[in-house]
Amino acid sequence: MTASAFSLSLTVPDAGFAIEKGTPVAGGARELEGLQHSCCDHCKSWVFTRFPAMMGEYVNVRSTLLDEIDDIAPFMETCTAEALGWARTPAVHRYEGFPQADEFHTLMAEYAER
Protein backbone atom coordinates (compact mmCIF):
# COMPACT_ATOMS: atom_id res chain seq x y z
CA MET A 1 0.00 0.00 0.00
CA THR A 2 2.93 2.38 0.42
CA ALA A 3 5.02 1.63 -2.69
CA SER A 4 8.07 1.77 -0.44
CA ALA A 5 10.35 -0.49 1.56
CA PHE A 6 8.96 1.16 4.69
CA SER A 7 5.50 1.76 6.08
CA LEU A 8 5.97 4.16 8.98
CA SER A 9 3.21 4.67 11.52
CA LEU A 10 2.95 6.10 14.99
CA THR A 11 0.84 4.05 17.41
CA VAL A 12 -1.29 6.22 19.69
CA PRO A 13 -4.08 5.50 22.18
CA ASP A 14 -7.47 5.75 20.48
CA ALA A 15 -8.62 8.17 23.19
CA GLY A 16 -5.90 10.62 22.12
CA PHE A 17 -6.74 10.47 18.41
CA ALA A 18 -9.20 12.72 16.61
CA ILE A 19 -9.99 13.53 13.01
CA GLU A 20 -10.00 17.30 12.78
CA LYS A 21 -11.16 17.76 9.21
CA GLY A 22 -12.94 15.65 6.61
CA THR A 23 -14.36 12.16 6.71
CA PRO A 24 -12.04 9.23 5.97
CA VAL A 25 -13.02 6.45 3.58
CA ALA A 26 -12.19 2.74 3.68
CA GLY A 27 -9.16 1.69 1.71
CA GLY A 28 -6.19 -0.63 1.55
CA ALA A 29 -5.99 -4.26 2.57
CA ARG A 30 -9.28 -5.73 3.69
CA GLU A 31 -8.50 -9.44 3.93
CA LEU A 32 -8.37 -9.50 7.75
CA GLU A 33 -11.71 -9.17 9.47
CA GLY A 34 -11.78 -6.07 11.65
CA LEU A 35 -8.81 -4.40 9.93
CA GLN A 36 -9.76 -0.82 9.09
CA HIS A 37 -7.41 1.12 6.82
CA SER A 38 -8.73 4.67 6.51
CA CYS A 39 -7.83 7.00 3.68
CA CYS A 40 -8.29 10.66 2.79
CA ASP A 41 -11.48 10.97 0.75
CA HIS A 42 -9.90 13.64 -1.46
CA CYS A 43 -6.55 12.07 -2.44
CA LYS A 44 -7.08 8.47 -1.22
CA SER A 45 -3.79 8.52 0.72
CA TRP A 46 -3.56 6.07 3.60
CA VAL A 47 -4.07 8.07 6.81
CA PHE A 48 -4.55 5.68 9.75
CA THR A 49 -5.40 2.10 10.70
CA ARG A 50 -7.51 0.54 13.41
CA PHE A 51 -7.36 -3.19 14.16
CA PRO A 52 -9.01 -3.70 17.56
CA ALA A 53 -8.65 -7.50 17.54
CA MET A 54 -4.87 -7.18 17.46
CA MET A 55 -4.06 -3.68 18.69
CA GLY A 56 -6.82 -3.12 21.20
CA GLU A 57 -7.55 0.55 21.80
CA TYR A 58 -4.70 1.89 19.67
CA VAL A 59 -4.58 3.57 16.27
CA ASN A 60 -1.68 3.53 13.81
CA VAL A 61 -1.34 7.03 12.35
CA ARG A 62 0.80 7.51 9.25
CA SER A 63 3.97 9.31 10.39
CA THR A 64 4.04 11.46 7.27
CA LEU A 65 0.97 13.32 8.55
CA LEU A 66 2.89 14.82 11.46
CA ASP A 67 4.53 18.22 11.20
CA GLU A 68 7.57 17.29 13.29
CA ILE A 69 8.88 13.73 13.10
CA ASP A 70 12.65 14.14 13.30
CA ASP A 71 12.77 13.07 16.96
CA ILE A 72 10.58 10.00 16.45
CA ALA A 73 12.89 7.12 15.57
CA PRO A 74 11.39 3.69 14.81
CA PHE A 75 10.81 1.69 18.00
CA MET A 76 9.23 -1.45 16.55
CA GLU A 77 9.31 -3.18 13.16
CA THR A 78 6.59 -5.56 12.04
CA CYS A 79 6.28 -7.93 9.10
CA THR A 80 10.06 -8.36 8.88
CA ALA A 81 9.52 -11.76 7.23
CA GLU A 82 8.50 -9.77 4.14
CA ALA A 83 11.19 -7.08 4.44
CA LEU A 84 13.75 -6.33 1.77
CA GLY A 85 17.17 -7.57 2.89
CA TRP A 86 18.71 -4.09 2.86
CA ALA A 87 15.79 -2.30 4.56
CA ARG A 88 16.82 -1.77 8.18
CA THR A 89 15.80 0.68 10.88
CA PRO A 90 17.18 1.31 14.39
CA ALA A 91 14.03 -0.26 15.90
CA VAL A 92 14.44 -1.86 19.32
CA HIS A 93 11.85 -4.59 18.67
CA ARG A 94 11.33 -6.67 15.52
CA TYR A 95 8.55 -9.09 14.67
CA GLU A 96 8.27 -11.40 11.67
CA GLY A 97 4.55 -10.69 11.78
CA PHE A 98 2.90 -8.63 14.50
CA PRO A 99 3.22 -8.67 18.30
CA GLN A 100 0.48 -10.43 20.24
CA ALA A 101 -2.41 -8.20 21.31
CA ASP A 102 -1.41 -8.45 24.98
CA GLU A 103 2.09 -7.13 24.16
CA PHE A 104 0.90 -3.70 22.98
CA HIS A 105 0.43 -2.28 26.50
CA THR A 106 3.93 -3.42 27.49
CA LEU A 107 5.45 -2.00 24.31
CA MET A 108 3.64 1.32 24.78
CA ALA A 109 4.81 1.55 28.40
CA GLU A 110 8.40 0.82 27.36
CA TYR A 111 8.24 3.46 24.64
CA ALA A 112 6.77 6.02 27.06
CA GLU A 113 9.78 5.57 29.37
CA ARG A 114 12.21 6.65 26.64
Domain assignments of the chain as residue spans, ordered by start = 9-112
The whole-number pLDDT of residue 2 equals: 63
Give pLDDT < 70 ranges for the chain. 1-3, 30-31
How many residues appear in the chain? 114
The whole-number pLDDT of residue 31 equals: 66
pTM of the entire predicted model: 0.79
The whole-number pLDDT of residue 96 equals: 93
Q: What is the layout of strands, in order, in the sheet containing 25-27?
A: 9-13, 58-62, 46-50, 36-39, 25-27
What's the rounded Cα separation, in Å, for the pair 114 and 110?
7
Q: Which of 69, 61, 70 is nearest to 7 (CA)?
A: 61
